[in-house]
Amino acid sequence: MDRYPELDRVNSLEDFKRLRDGELPAYAAQMRQYMIENVARCGGHLASSLGAVELIIAMHRAYNSPTDKIVFDVGHQSYAHKIITGRREAFCTLRQENGISGFPKREESEHDPFNTGHASTAISAALGMARAKRLLGEDGAAIALVGDGALTGGLAFEGLNDAGQADVPLIVIINDNEMSISPNVGALHRMLVNMRSSAWYVRFKRYLVRALDTGIIGRWLSRHMENMKNRIKSFLMPQRLFEDLGFLYLGPIDGHDIPELTRMFRRAKDLRVPVIVHCVTQKGKGYSYSERNPEKFHGVAPFSIDTGDIESALKRSNSSVFGSEMITLAEKDPKIVAISAAMPTGTGLSEFASRFPDRFFDVGIAEEHALTMAAGMASCGIKPVVALYSTFLQRGYDQVLHDICLQKLPVVLAIDRAGLVGDDGETHQGVYDVSFLSSMPNMTIYSPATQQELVHMLSLALSRGEPAAIRYPRGSLIQAVSTQPVEKGVWEELESISEKTIIATGSMVAVALPVARKLKTGLVNARTIAPMDEAMLQRIAKTAKKVIVMEECVDALGLRVSAALSPVPVIRMNVPSDPVSQACVNHQRQFCGLTADALEKYLMEGTE
C-alpha cells in the first residue's frame, strides 16, 4: 500500500535491520497509524503501544533478538515489537480467534521469549534468562522493558533487589509515562518524577548544555561527557534507589528520540553489568484522543478514528452497577471504604473515588498489599471492599487465606471479570477463583445471576461482618428481578425440582433458564457457592435422578455437589483444565461446552 511505503517493506526483523536511520521516523509514524486503524476495528491496548513505538524501534536497532532476550512486562506495549518481528500482516487478526495474541507469546514467535499478561514479572524472568545464559556459556543480554506502573508491584522490587548483586548483563528499561492503567501512585512514582524534574538538575543541565554547545571543542566535550553527566546527575538527585540496589543508572532519556535511545541501549549492553535505562515517554502519543485520555484508550473496544468515540454497550455494565451501589451504601455508612489495585475505572470505582476521596485507596499494582491493608483496616472496625479482576486476585492467594480468612476479618472481595473474558485470552481468564476460595475457611462466595442480585449481595456481605467474595462477569448480567430475597447459603428454585434438575450459578443461569422451561426440567439458581444450600440439596437428592451443574469456572461447585448428592448421577459442565484461548466469549463457551445446545443434549440423553 502506498500509504505505508516504509512499513510495507518490513516483513521480518531482518528487513527492519536494513532500514536506514533516516527512514525510521517515517517508519514510526506509519506504524502508529497502522496500529490505530487495526485497534479501531478490533479493539486492543492502544495508548501503551503508541507511547512505546520509538522505544521499541531503538531496542531492535541496539539488540539482536532472539539471541538477546527481550521480555515485556505485562505486554500491553508490545504491538510495535510484533510488527517489527514479522507479524505485520497478521496484525489485523490481533486478539481475534485464531489470530495473534495481544500479549507476547512463546508459541507465536521466537522473538517472544516469555509469555506475559500480568504486571511486574519481567525483571525476575529476564534475570533468570541472564543467569541461564551464563550457566550455558551463551552470548547475549537479557532486557526487561518495564512500565513505571509495573514497578509499584512487589515482585518487581524482589527482582531488582536480587539483580543488583547478580553481576550479569541484565538491562532494565523503564518506560516512564506516569501511567499504569490509571495514573500511577506511590513513593516510587514520586521518586521518578523527582528524578526528571529536580530544579537543581534542570538548571545545571541547561547551563551545561548552553556552555558546551558553542564551538568545536564544546560540541566535542558534549558528545564525550556522558559518564560525567550521569555522575553529576546522581550527585544532584534527591534519591539514589537504583544505584543503592546495585544498578548503573542511565537517564532520564527522551523516549521518542530514536538515535539517543539506540545509542544509550547499545551502551547499556556494552557495560555487561546490571543497568537501569530510564526513558520518559508520552502514553498515547500520535493520536490526539489517546494523548488527551490515555486511560480511556488503555484497553479499548472498537472505536471511531475520526471522533474517538468507543462503541458503547447497550446495557449497563456490572462494574458500573457495583460502583453505583458502593456510593449508595457509602453515603449511609461512613465506615465503608473502597480499595483498588491501579484499576479504579475498570472496576467501576472512579466516581466513588471522586465522591469519597478520603475513603478510596488506590495502592498501585500491588494486590497482596491491598488485601493485607484491607485486613488491617477491618481489624480496626472499617468495612473495606477490595475490587479486583479475578485474574489479578490470584496474586493475593496467601493474603486472602492467611490475613483475612484465618482471622475471620470482614473484608469483601468484589471479583470483577469472573468467568471467561474473551479477547485477552489465557492470561486473563477469571476461572480459577472459585477453586481456591471455596477451600478457605470462613469464606462466603456469592454468585449473582442478575444485576439485582449483585446489588443485594454487596449489601448483605457488608452487613454480615465476615470474609466474603462476590464474583461477577465482564459485561452485563441479566436484568430479571426476583421476589425471593438473597440470603447466605440459600439457593433459589427457579423451576420446580424434578427428576432432571439443573443447578446453575452466576452467568450460567441465563443460559440454563430457557432450556429448563423448554424441556420442563428443574432449575436451581445457586446464589452462594460457599456455603451450599444443604436443605435444597436434600430435596434434590430425594427427587432427582439426573443432576447437571453449570458453572463458568474450572470444576468447583460441581465437585462439591457430586459429593453431596452421591449416588445421584451428576454431570458437571464447567471450564476444562486446558487453557482457553482468545475468542469472543460465546465462542469460548462453545469450546468449553457451556451452551444451551450442550445442556439440552445432556438432558435428552437416555430418553426416547
Q: Which residues are catalytic?
A: 283, 367, 395
Cα angle value 309/314/317 (rounded, 5°): 95
| Cβ atoms 373, 361 nearer than 8 A | yes
Sign of the dihedral defined by the CA atoms of residues 456, 458, 464, 469, in that order: positive
Kindly state the cell numbers that stand for 147. 512500565
Residue 325's closest CA among 446, 460, 421?
460
C-alpha cell at 336: 465503608
Q: How many residues does the chain have?
A: 608
Across the beta sheet with 500-504, the strand order is: 492-495, 522-525, 500-504, 546-554, 570-575
Which amino acid is present at 426?
A: E
Which amino acid appears at position 367 of this protein? E
> Dihedrals φ, ψ of 463, to 5°?
-80, -20
Q: At what angle do helices 557-565 and 534-543 cross, to 10 degrees?
A: 60
To which H or E segment does residue 469 belong?
Answer: strand 468-471
Query: Please, which residues have CB within 8 angstroms of residue 220's CB and are 6 or more apart in sequence?
Result: none
Kindly report the CA angle at 12 between 104 and 58, in degrees rounded to 5?
70
Q: 10 Å Cβ neighbour count for 404?
A: 29
Cis, bond preceding 113 (omega within 30 deg of 0): no
Which residues, in sequence order, are CB contacts of 42 under 8 Å at separation 6+? 92, 94, 95, 96, 302, 423
**What interhelical angle do 258-271 and 53-62 show, nearest 10?**
40
CB 389 within 8 A of CB 343: yes
List of residues 6+ apart from 165 with CB closer than 8 A: 246
In sequence order, what E strands does 152-305 have? 170-176, 248-254, 275-280
Task: Please report the sign of the dihedral spanned by the C-alpha atoms of residue 393, residue 395, residue 401, residue 402.
Answer: negative
What are the grid coordinates assigned to 562, written together?
A: 457430586
Residue (of 479, 182, 526) closest to 360 by Cα position? 182
Burial class (CB in 10 A: 0-12, 13-18, 19+), 437: buried
